[in-house]
Amino acid sequence: MSRLRIEASTPLCQLQDAGRFGVRHLGVTQGGALDWVSARWANWLLDNPADAAVVEITLGGFAVVAEADCRLALAGADLDARIDGEQLKPWHSFDLRKGQRLQFSQPLHDARAYLAAPGGFDAPRVLGSCATVVREGLGGLEGAGRALAKGDELRFEGLSKGRDGVPQALRPQLEGEACLNLVMGAQLGEFSGQSLFEVFNSAWELDSRGDRMGIRLTGPVLRYQGQPMISEGIPLGAVQVPPDGQPIVLLNDRQTIGGYPRLGALTPLALARLAQCLPGERVRFRAVVQDFAWAEMQAWFKRFVD
């Protein structure tokens, strides 16, 4: 079994996989990689299963030392990764020799990088997944929901020659202002006409008050005119509007029910794009219907498989 020894980490660096499903009726959220697209490409580079465990590195501050020669892969954000000081760009597989140090410092572009190892990192499965959800004490290296910390060891088995890189044409487009597809639904029609205009014709700025539960957006105040709600189930990507009129996009570690009105939900690909946005960046919403979102996902998976 190969090992990487963690020399530096933060609470934002966690072990994640595709997520925990079939348990929301128990009040257990799904967890999993926020930018699932980049996580899948990192695994693809090593011929891993799509749901193999990866390290989600948010904003940098992470470093490991190899205890044996190994082949790894990196996708997602450019967090100024370096091997013994030599720059390493994402979207490639690479060799890390025994004793070499891989370090992620700070964002040069985007927010989250995904580090993969042959066969996926080893961790116990809790309710079918090793995805780390700190609030619920689930997943991670020991199954108790702890983020990765200095002194931990990342273990993995298997060898992989690996693919050299993700073709440029298949890499997610992460440059420029993000346009996020929003499937209309829920209580959309209960907002004022002016608010509906503002939702789709204004730029929204990412607030610094964001985490894996949700990302707050700031912009025009949206006004809900409907009746008070009874709490109901919340899907991934739901866009809630609390009384202050500022939307919150709910992410993988969200609560399972809520009582704020919703504009609808982001598509899975829009969620992956949002996960790479940094505080202060601006995004826009584009209204779509469910059939469009389904066709969009089918087209993406066809490209991924081909």
> pLDDT grade, residue 303 (50/70/90)?
confident
| Average model confidence (pLDDT) across the chain | 95
State percent of the chain over pLDDT 70. 99
Q: Is pLDDT of 263 > 70?
A: yes
Task: Compute CA 59 distance to the chain's CA centroid, rounded to the nearest angstrom.
Answer: 12
pLDDT band at 134; cut points 50, 70, 90: very high
Which helix (H) or strand (E) element contains residue 218? strand 214-218
DSSP symbol at 188: G
pLDDT beyond 80 at 161 = no
- pLDDT for 19-38, tens place per residue? 999 999 999 999 999 999 99
Closest CA to 123 of 115, 135, 134, 131: 131
User: pLDDT (tens digit, 9 = 90+) per residue, 64-116?
Assistant: 999 999 999 999 999 999 999 999 999 999 999 999 999 999 999 999 999 99
CB 64 within 8 A of CB 102: yes
Using the predicted structure, report yes or no on whether residue 2 has a pLDDT greater than 80.
yes
Q: In which element (H, E) is residue 305 found?
A: helix 290-305
Task: Tell me the β-bridge partners of 64.
Answer: 6, 102
> C-alpha 18: how far from its chain's center?
10
Which pLDDT belongs to residue 306? 62
CA-to-CA separations, 197 to 30, 44, 100, 286, 293, in angstroms, rounded: 33, 41, 54, 11, 22
| Structural domains of the chain ordered from first start | 2-170 (no CATH), 178-305 (2.40.100.10)
DSSP readout, 163-214? -SB--GGGS----SSEEEEEEE-TTGGGB-HHHHHHHHHS-EEEEEEE-SSE
Is the separation of the CB atoms in 267 and 291 below 8 Å?
A: no
Q: How far is CA 68 from CA 4, 12, 176, in A?
A: 8, 26, 40
HEC per residue, 60-126: CCEEEEECCCEEEEEEEEECCCEECCEECCCCEEEEECCCCEEEECCCCEEEEEEEECCCCCCCCCE
b/e map 66-77, b = 16+ CB within 10 Å: bbeebbbbbbbb
Asked if 30 and 146 touch (Cβ cutoff 8 Å), the reply is: no
Give this prediction's pTM.
0.96
CA distance 102 to 107: 15
Look-up: residue for tokens 């639904």?
A: 185
